[in-house]
Structure 1
Amino acid sequence: MRRRFLQTPEAVAGTAILVLLAAMALAAPLLFPGDPLRIAGPALTPPFQDWALPLGTDRLGRDVLAELFHGARTSLVVGLAAAAASLAVGAVIGTLAGFAGGLADEALMRLTDAFQTVPGFLLALAFVSIVGPSLSVVVAAIALSAWTGPARIARAEVLSIRERDFVAGARVVGMHPLEIAFREVLPNALPPVLALSSIIVAQAILIEAALSFLGLGDPNRVTWGGMVAEGRTVLRTAPFLSIVPGIALVVTVLGVYLAGEGAVEGAAVRKGLS
């Protein structure tokens, strides 16, 4: 699987982009220590005019390159945390629904349907507007809108696994139903659920950027969406303020998708060979 992954051009390109993003996030406090929102020079310095400020400054004189690096930290934190939370919630609900069956299955699936009827971004927007903007609230809002897909896939996998011989053997030896569900069944149902992780990470990064663009991101953190919003007021005179973080968003989401596609393709090849 690893060899197949490395032989896929899109997977290699996606992985290289993600490694670069992770390096930017880790290097941000070392290369640009202190507050990235502090004034660093004259306002609206164009890129490549001052080598101490390679990407120039924004309307308030803040270093665009420092903001870009620190924004990578926010995007990674939100993407990974929201994906982990939504996968965990979805896997638990899907496992309970598929293993219990009957009324419990019906109730949990109708709850899932109710969440799926509301567009994810609108649900996140309403949640953040009510609770208040902060990084943890943004992560919770994105997870609240993204857990339904993993829940449905987990339920489908559990329905096919719960009738297998090893599950019947666990019942015979007297294991508790919940122990069977989460210790024996769920680990075997996880691979298809985890295949959604790249999609959820990409969606989380985009939703966080959109919320920040609307002024609903964490005001104490640099975000790429906030940088795009900051540059829209001077789009004619200083378009680089919106173009630079916009390109970063596009490249990051593209890298996540490419790496995810490579991982799925490698897993499919491994399953076919086995």
Structure 2
Amino acid sequence: MKRPVRSLSGMVGIAILAALVLVAVFAPLISPGDPLAITARPLLPPLADWAHPLGTDRLGRDLVAGLVHGARTSLAVGLAAAVASLMIGSIIGTLAGFLGGWTDEALMRVTDAFQTVPGFLLALAFVSVAGPSLPVIVLAIALSAWTGPARVARAEVLSLRERDFVASARVIGMHPLEIAFREILPNALPPVLALSSVIVAAAILTEAALSFLGLGDPNRVTWGGMIAEGRAVLRSAPYLSIIPGIALVLAVLGVYLAGEATVERAARRVGHA
């Protein structure tokens, strides 16, 4: 009885994620021009002017433009941070699991040290020191998210390094690092990649929280910045915070549900095999 419900939730997640991707890709066509430009009178309520169906903010900037260009920022940060954290975690986990000994011990103690600090606080401190910009935000999120992939990769490598194909690679004289990254890592990647949806969703939330606190890229429209902008007029114009807040919730929900559906489908295929 649970399988149809899970399939439905997966389809909903994939639909939301597909819509988010389309909006991000076609943002310049949906809302051409600068999304930070003043286009109408300030605090225009939703549906009051069809040229600005969702209204305008305190400065007269169009909310539709902010939403579609904010989707591009959120998706770019989420994907880039996930790729960076998976790469860092996979490399460290592979080295720790394959080399073992003091290398494993040292790398796992570094991993423990990063895990003792809450991810958002680490990202907050890093951006505060390095300055708010999109590359810095991506790097800050990646530094706070690589520990999970590292531990999963290490566990997989520990189970793979004694297999026959690894022994064969040693016999033919392959370099240890070549064995680790050419023979073992590709086989250890599937469980690591299963974490990508969680990392993307967390990265979108972290970027929004940083922007809400004024640490987002000032040259980019972000949903967190839009929510913070509406905070000052929350009683008189609550839509300024509610609309980007709904978009943020839908994006995170879509990424998470789509990732769960993908993992479930992959596990089902492995079970049938």
Q: TM-score, normalised by structure 2?
A: 0.98
Residue 28 of structure 2 corresponds to 29
Moved over 3 A (4+): none
Equivalent residue letter for 2:241: S
Show the 5 A alignment for 1:237-248: 237-248=236-247
Q: Does residue 117 of structure 2 align to residue 125 of structure 1?
A: no
Tell me the equivalent position of 2:53: 54
Q: Note the C-alpha offset of 1:31.
A: 2.1
Deviations 1:171-191 (A, max 9, x none): 000000000000000000000
The residue number in structure 2 matching 1:263 is 262
Kindly state the Cα deviation for residue 138 of structure 1 after the two structures are TM-superposed.
Answer: 0.2
Aligned to 1:191: 190
Tell me the distance in 2 between the aligned counterparts of 1:91 and 1:10: 30
Give how far 1:256 is off. 0.7
Higher mean alpha-carbon deviation, 23-32 vs 119-128, is at 23-32
Deviations, residues 52-91 of structure 1 (Å, cap 9, x unaligned): 0000000000000000000000000000000000000000
- State the superposition RMSD in angstroms: 1.3
The equivalent of 2:252 in structure 1 is: 253
Aligned-partner residue type, residue 145 of structure 2: A
1:22-45 C-alpha deviation (Å, 9 max, x unpaired): 111112111222210000100000
CA–CA distance in structure 1, aligned partners of residues 109 and 267 of structure 2: 31
CA shift digits 1:212-251 (9 cap, x unpaired): 0000000000000000000000000000000000000000
Aligned AA (1:211): L
Cα distance in 2 for partners of 1:188, 1:247 equals 39
What's the counterpart of residue 135 of structure 2?
136
Looking at structure 1, the residues matched to 261 and 43 of structure 2 have their Cα atoms a distance apart, in angstroms, of 41
Give the letter for the 1:79 counterpart. Answer: G
* Counterpart for residue 148 of structure 1: 147
Which residue number corresponds to residue 232 of structure 1?
Answer: 231
Alignment of 1:36-75 (within 5 A): 36-75=35-74
Q: Which runs of 5+ in 1 are unaligned?
A: none
Query: In structure 1, how many angstroms separate the alpha carbons of the residues matched to 2:151 and 2:131?
Result: 30
> 1 CA distance for matches of 2:123 and 2:117?
10
How many residues get paired? 271
TM-score relative to the length of structure 1 = 0.97
Aligned 1:146-225 pairs, distance under 5 A: 146-225=145-224
